[in-house]
């Protein structure tokens, strides 16, 4: 069994490759070759929570496991198994695995859903996940020439702007008004933008919330959308507060899965369409990214053999 660290993952999983992997993941979901099991949670009276999610893709299957507590930072591990005989192949430290593949999923969705002439990009949030959102969307949409960021902490958004070569602005409205692409990457439980700030033709990626009572988008914006796309309808009904709180039961017929956009069964119809991608993060994304990292590690001699 191979043990791979966060540094190994960073070195072995470039964003350009992960964008291709995310396309492959949704192609295989569309064809039925891949399987995904939604996230489950076990919460203790201490407020410590164990989160776990599983999926399969061709030669590999596996599970991501992580724990959270309000007073401590989470730590993620991915367990990669060989599909043929269920042998444990690798244990992978997965904070950055999740960060990179989450960014890449947004980047891939943006390639499919945003207008091809998009030039401006507004980001709400300046934390761990926001960094790879910027990296991925720049890689996916090479025409982007202006990126604006806002977060509640002026110090953090200024540091983010320096590190990521973007423009820090004073208000959330300044970040997203007239932007062609918008990303919300926060831990907020309440909407962080207003519907009136978002123009027709904009593409919005909401990726910060994965709990049913938390959201980043206001209900009005969700209802305005001409096309709502999610990575998994099953998982969205369980944990996408942006949709659970923003849609009535009959409105769920309007929500399509990214695999269907990948297969050409749905997508943007007009330049003026307002499109929304609600990202939950799927285990199958972790599986395909982990399989890639494992194979590159074998090729390069990275990682540490724990036992054979």
Provide the CATH number for the domain around residue 34.
Answer: 3.30.1780.10
What is the domain range of residue 6?
Answer: 2-98+283-305
194 and 300 share a domain? no
Are 94 and 160 part of one and the same domain?
Answer: no
Is there a contact between 272 and 201 (Cβ–Cβ < 8 Å)? yes
Q: Which tokens is 160 given?
A: 């983010």
State the Cα–Cα distance between residues 1 and 80, nearest whole angstrom. Answer: 10
CATH number at residue 268: 3.40.50.720
Q: Are residues 73 and 162 in the same domain?
A: no
55 and 88 inside one domain: yes
Helix count and strand count (H, E) for the chain:
11, 15
pLDDT in tens, 133-173: 999 999 999 999 999 999 999 999 999 999 999 999 999 99
Number of compact structural domains in the chain? 2
How far, in Å, CA of 99 to CA of 173, rounded?
26
Note whether 160 and 43 are same-domain residues. Answer: no
Q: Are residues 162 and 63 part of one domain?
A: no
Which range has the worst mean pLDDT, 114-128, 141-155, 204-218?
204-218
> How much is the pTM?
0.95
Enter the tokens of residue 65: 């496991």
Going by their DSSP bridges, the two strands 304-305 and 227-230 should be labelled as unpaired
Tens digits of residue pLDDT in 171-185: 999 999 999 999 999
Q: How many Å apart are CA 170 and CA 270, to the nearest integer? A: 32
Could you tell me which residues come within 8 angstroms of residue 281 by beta carbon, excluding any fewer than 6 positions away? 39, 98, 101, 102, 105, 207, 210, 231
């Amino acid at each position: 069994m191979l043990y791979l660290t966060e540094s190994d993952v960073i070195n072995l999983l470039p964003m350009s490759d992960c964008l291709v992997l995310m396309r492959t993941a949704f192609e295989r979901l569309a064809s039925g070759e891949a399987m995904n099991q939604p996230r489950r949670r076990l919460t203790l009276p201490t407020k410590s929570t164990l989160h776990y999610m599983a999926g399969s893709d061709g030669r590999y299957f596996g599970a991501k496991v992580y724990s959270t507590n309000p007073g401590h930072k989470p730590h993620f591990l991915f367990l990669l198994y060989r599909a043929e005989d269920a042998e444990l192949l690798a244990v992978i430290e997965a904070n950055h695995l999740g960060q990179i593949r989450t960014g890449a999923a947004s980047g891939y969705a943006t390639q499919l859903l945003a207008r091809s002439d998009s030039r401006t990009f507004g980001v709400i949030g300046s934390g761990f996940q926001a960094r790879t959102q910027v990296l991925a969307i720049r890689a996916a949409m090479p025409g982007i020439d202006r990126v604006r960021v806002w977060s509640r902490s002026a110090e953090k958004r200024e540091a983010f702007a320096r590190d990521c070569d973007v423009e820090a602005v004073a208000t959330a409205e300044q970040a997203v008004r007239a932007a062609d692409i918008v990303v919300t990457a926060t831990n907020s439980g309440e909407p962080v933008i207003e519907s009136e700030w978002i123009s027709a033709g904009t593409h919005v990626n909401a990726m910060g919330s994965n709990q049913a009572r938390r959201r980043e988008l206001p209900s009005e914006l969700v209802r305005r959308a001409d096309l709502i796309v999610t990575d998994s309808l099953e998982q969205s009904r369980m944990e996408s507060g942006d949709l659970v709180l923003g849609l009535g039961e009959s409105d769920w017929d309007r929500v399509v899965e990214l695999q269907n956009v990948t297969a050409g069964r749905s997508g943007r119809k007009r330049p003026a369409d307002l499109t929304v991608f609600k990202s939950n993060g799927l285990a199958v994304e972790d599986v395909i990214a982990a399989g890639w990292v494992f194979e590159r590690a074998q090729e390069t001699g990275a990682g540490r053999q724990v036992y054979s």
